[in-house]
Amino acid sequence: MIEGITVYDVLAVSTIIFFIGIFGFVTRKNLISLLISTELMLNAVALNFVIFNKFLYPGQIQGYVFSLFLIAVAAAEVALAIAIIISLYRMDNSVDADDMDTLKG
Amino acid sequence: MGDFTYTIWIFILPIAAFLITGLFGSKMPAKVSGWIGTASITVALMLALRTAYQYFIQVGFVEGHRPTVFAYKEVWMNFTETLTFDMGILIDPISVMMLVVVTFISFMVHVYSIGYMKGDKGYYRFFAFLSLFSVSMLGLVVATNIFQMYFFWELVGVSSYLLIGFYYDKPSAVAAAKKAFIVTRFADLGFLIGILLLSYHAGTFDFMTLVSEDGPLLAQSAPPVFMGLSIFGVALSLIFIGGAGKSAMFPLHIWLPDAMEGPTPVSALIHAATMVVAGVYLVARLFPAYHGVDGGVVLNLVAWTGAISSLFAAIIAMTQDDIKRVLAFSTMSQIGYMMLSLGVSGMEGHHGLGYMASMFHLFTHAMFKALLFLGAGSVIHAVHSNLMSDMGGLHKHMKITSWTFLIACLAISGIPIFSGFFSKDEILVAAFEHNKVLWAIEYIVAGITAFYMFRIYFGIFWGKRREYHHTPHESPMVMAIPLMILAALTMVVGWAIPFGNYVMPDRMAYHGHIEWSLAIPSVAIGALGIFVAYIFYFKETSLPEKVSSAFGQSYGWAKDKFYFDEIYQFFAHKMMFAGVAAPIAWFDRHVVDGFMNGVGWMTETFSYLLEGWQSGKVRQYGFSFVAGLLVILFAVLYLNGFIDFKG
């Protein structure tokens, strides 16, 4: 562990990553960018698990295990999302999120 | 006292027949449903006869009185600790007599219908309804309490409705069925209010408690509350309105002539012999109460209603052309006799003659009127018309129908040996001893009755020989045999059954004798009526037209039934519909519906405002989601004191 780095510093990093994700999710139009943004948010959360485990309960491993689960879930989710994006692309010949409004009620 | 528990089978069998033919009738051959219905009512008849034998002969008198036996009595509903609604079987003289009458006439009608309804597409439906009617009527007559009676009372109303509207593709039949149901329902409203008043103030539904001498009605005298009647008097009057409606008493009679739209066997069973006498039976059932409460004032109402009805109906019957309508008005007239007879009766010994005569007339009338209707059905079957103007000279074509019809006509005219003479004579004696005016009315009606009955007899079987499309032929044996059985009984029951021995209000034996000083004049006026009808109608003459035109306008009034239908129509359409129903309908359509439509309109408009939010744009959703999340986050932090905007 690097000396002088506190839990606040690492939390600041994860928070920054998380909001970068949100910013990207709101501003980008490309579906792939949106997917990347959600992955950023997910990773920020996974980082939080590791940090809290490290600093608050050093003797236990639940946080680490949970972050491993998160990675696995994220992988599965990406596979699904990519599949959806590809089929949308085949349908509309576009990956622009503003072109998609099939969810409209 | 003997075991009467087997009487329950009298009900179970027709119910079973109703369920089987009603549910599976369409899947089995038509004949089978007829046989099932007939078989069940045959066994029920046997059991009813067995009950009568056991009750009247084997049990006989207990300490000088005919006892009351409860074959069954089960609590059906608990209203309060003391007020329960029971279902049961009450065995006493009049209920046993009615059991026999209902099952016997029902049996005859079943057998007759096998021939009459042959080839009808609703064959199984007809027999299912007949079974339903039989069981309802039987339940009515053995009711242990007034609520059970009301229950079955409505059931007979329903089966009557179903059977009048049996030919439901005929608009007139549907209208007649509705009319019968609505008019009797309207009368039953009085019945229901009467029951509620009576049970609220007496604390019981039970017939035996209501009529017992130390019961709540007769033991204490309640103060007058309305027009000199006590609360019990009011209740009994209301109950009588229900009975008058069912028995087609003036002025609630308008449904009975129209009810003739039903198949003729139904008219014989329901609208002549059994259901329409339910009102008489009801008054007889509560007779000690009617007699005792308020010194019998209500009983006078009964007597006068009966007298007016019988005169009124007899006058109309003289002018009608449809033979079934003549018989319908004649039924109304004869029920008027029964009501009057109850109305003039007392309780003890010889004073109870009216009650006995009423029940006796009910008994004999059931047979000869069923015979008349079945005979008329046989004629209609042959001629395919209800109208007397389409008939004539049928005697040589239909010997059996003609002779049996003649026997029934003689019976209803009160000619000795035939059953009607004996019962009508007792009624006239009872009326004479009570009130000369009532007697005079009934005496005249006896003459009119003989006239109009022989008017249709001569009109159908003699009179002008008509040309028919095909020669009318005698009905098949399955229809002719019931006619012959009923005719034989009509000749026998009057003198063979010492009715006073069986049915009296005080339940002791009474040995009546024929009062020849009154019987001879009444036979004379009957014979006069027949003679006049003979002159008018035996051969085609112009006499009837001359006489009817001599009456001028009043003949037309009678022919149009004194415009009672039109009066009701006026009240219903001009006053009820225009005055009450139309404003209520307006209120419903504009205020009640308007409020509901307003609620719908508001929801719809509001949701159009929100519609834009569901754009289908994922990024917009994401933004809303994140923004909302942040708002909630900061709100929670602020509320918990983590953020202080004041610094």
pLDDT tens string B191-206 = 999 988 888 888 788 8
| Residue carrying structure tokens 């130390």 | B214
One-letter amino acid at A12 equals A
| % chain B with pLDDT above 70 | 98
What's the average model confidence in pLDDT over B29-35? 85
Spell out the residues 6+ positions from residue B127 whose beta carbon is closer than 8 angstroms to its own: B17, B21, B25, B33, B34, B36, B37, B38, B110, B113
How far, in Å, CA of B139 to CA of B151, rounded? 9
Query: Hey, are the CB atoms on A25 and B615 less than 8 Å from each other?
Result: no
Answer yes or no: do A105 and B611 touch at CB < 8 A: yes
Q: Which residues contact B63 (CB under 8 A, 6 or more apart)?
A: none
Q: Where are the domains of chain A?
A: 7-93
Cα–Cα nearest to B371, from B248, B525, B265: B265
Task: Bin A70: left if φ > 0, else alpha if -120 < ψ < 50, else beta.
Answer: alpha
Residue of A nearest to B607 (CA): A105
Residue B82 is predicted with a pLDDT of 74
Cite the DSSP H helix spans in B320-461: 323-343, 353-383, 399-412, 419-434, 436-461
What would the mean pLDDT of B470-478 be, rounded to a whole number? 78
Mean pLDDT of B46-73: 84
A–B interface: beta-carbon pairs under 8 A: 34
CA distance A78 to A39: 8
- Give the pLDDT band of residue B625 (cuts 50, 70, 90): confident
pLDDT, residue B476, reads: 82
Number of CB atoms found within 10 A of residue B177's CB: 24
**How far does A59 lie from chain B, in Å, by closest CA?**
30
ipTM of the complex: 0.74
The full DSSP string for A51-95 is HHHHHH-TT--HHHHHHHHHHHHHHHHHHHHHHHHHHHHHHHS--
Q: Which of B609, B619, B629, B631 to mutate to test the interface with A (most CBs of A within 10 A)?
A: B619
* pLDDT exceeds cutoff 60 at B607: yes
Higher-confidence residue of B218 and B68: namely B68
Residue B599 burial by Cβ neighbours in a 10 Å radius (0-12, 13-18, 19+): exposed
Q: What is the pLDDT of residue A36?
A: 92
Residue B383: pLDDT band (50, 70, 90) is confident
Lowest model confidence (mean pLDDT) among A22-26, A33-37, B235-239, B465-469: B465-469
Q: Select from B611, B614, B618 the Cβ nearest to the Cβ of A97.
A: B618
Q: Which residues have C-beta within 8 Å of that of residue A93, sequence separation ≥ 6?
A: none
Asked if B205 and B195 touch (Cβ cutoff 8 Å), the reply is: yes
> What CA dihedral angle connects A95, A96, A99 and A105, to 10 degrees?
80
Nearest chain B residue to A23, by CA = B623
Give the containing element (helix H, strand E) for B76: strand B69-78
Report pLDDT for A1: 55
Q: Is the pLDDT of residue B228 over 80?
A: no
The Cα–Cα gap between B431 and B482 comes to 34
Pairing of strands B224-226, B69-78: unpaired
Structure-token match 């004869």, residue found: B334
What is residue B423's predicted lDDT score, i.e. its pLDDT? 87
- Residue from the list B616, B622, B623 with its beta carbon closest to the beta carbon of A101: B616
Among A22, A98, A104, whose Cβ lies nearest the Cβ of B614?
A104
Q: Which two tokens stand for residue B466?
A: 């008509």
Across the interface, whether the CB atoms of A104 and B616 are under 8 A apart is answered: yes
Give yes or no for residue B218 having a pLDDT over 80: no
pLDDT, tens digit, 9 for 90 and up, residues B517-545: 888 888 888 888 888 888 887 777 777 77
Chain B positions in Cβ-Cβ contact with residue A25 (cut-off 8 Å):
619, 622, 626
Q: Is the peptide bond before B476 cis (omega within 30 degrees of 0)?
A: no
* Residue A105, pLDDT score: 60
Closest-CA residue to A2 (of B318, B507, B254, A13): A13
* Predicted confidence (pLDDT) at residue B647 exceeds the cutoff of 60: no
- Using a CB–CB cut-off of 8 Å, the residues of B that contact A are 611, 614-619, 621-623, 626
Residue contact A100–B617, C-beta within 8 A? yes
Selection from B357, B287, B278, B343 nearest residue B505 by Cα: B287
User: Under a CB-based contact definition with an 8 Å cutoff, are residues B260 and B324 in contact?
Assistant: yes
Ranges under pLDDT 70 in chain A: 1-2, 104-105
Q: What mean pLDDT value characterizes chain B?
A: 85
Task: Quickly state the pLDDT bin for B106 (edges 50, 70, 90).
Answer: very high
Q: Give the Å distances, CA to CA, from B164 to B133, B138, B610.
A: 12, 20, 58
Q: State the Cα–Cα distance between residues B274 and B366, nearest whole angstrom.
A: 7
Q: Do B626 and A34 touch (CB under 8 A)?
A: no
Chosen from B624, B626, B629 to mutate, greatest number of chain A CBs within 10 A: B626
Facing residue for B616 by CB, picked from A22, A34, A103? A103
Residue B600 has pLDDT above 90, yes or no: yes
Beta partners for residue B65, in sequence order: B62
How many other CB atoms are there within 10 angstroms of residue B466's CB atom? 13
Residue with tokens 């072109």: A99
**Which of A25, A98, A100 is opposite residue B622, by nearest beta carbon?**
A25
Cα separations in angstroms, B145 against B3, B48, B99, B151:
21, 21, 17, 10
Q: What is the pLDDT of residue B604?
A: 92
What phi, psi does B612 have (nearest 5°)? Answer: -60, -25
Residue B104 makes CB contacts below 8 A (sequence gap 6+) with B45, B48
Degrees, nearest 5: CA angle B69-B70-B71: 105
Which residues of chain B have a CB within 8 Å of the CB of A36?
A: none
The pLDDT-based confidence of B219 (bands split at 50, 70, 90) is low
Any residues with CB less than 8 A from the CB of B313 and at least 6 apart, and which?
B250, B253, B329, B330, B332, B333, B336
**Is B619 in contact with A29 (Cβ distance < 8 A)?**
yes
- The CATH number assigned to the domain with range A7-93 reads 1.10.287.3510
Distance between CA B623 and CA B619 in Å, rounded? 6
Which two tokens mark B18?
């109703």
pLDDT digits (tens, 9 = 90+) for B302-352: 899 999 999 988 888 888 888 888 899 999 999 998 999 988 888 877 788
Average pLDDT value for residue range B176-184: 89
Distance from CA of B624 to the nearest CA of A (A): 9
pLDDT higher than threshold 70 for residue B221 = no
Q: Which of B610, B618, B620 to mutate against chain A (most A CBs within 10 Å)?
A: B618
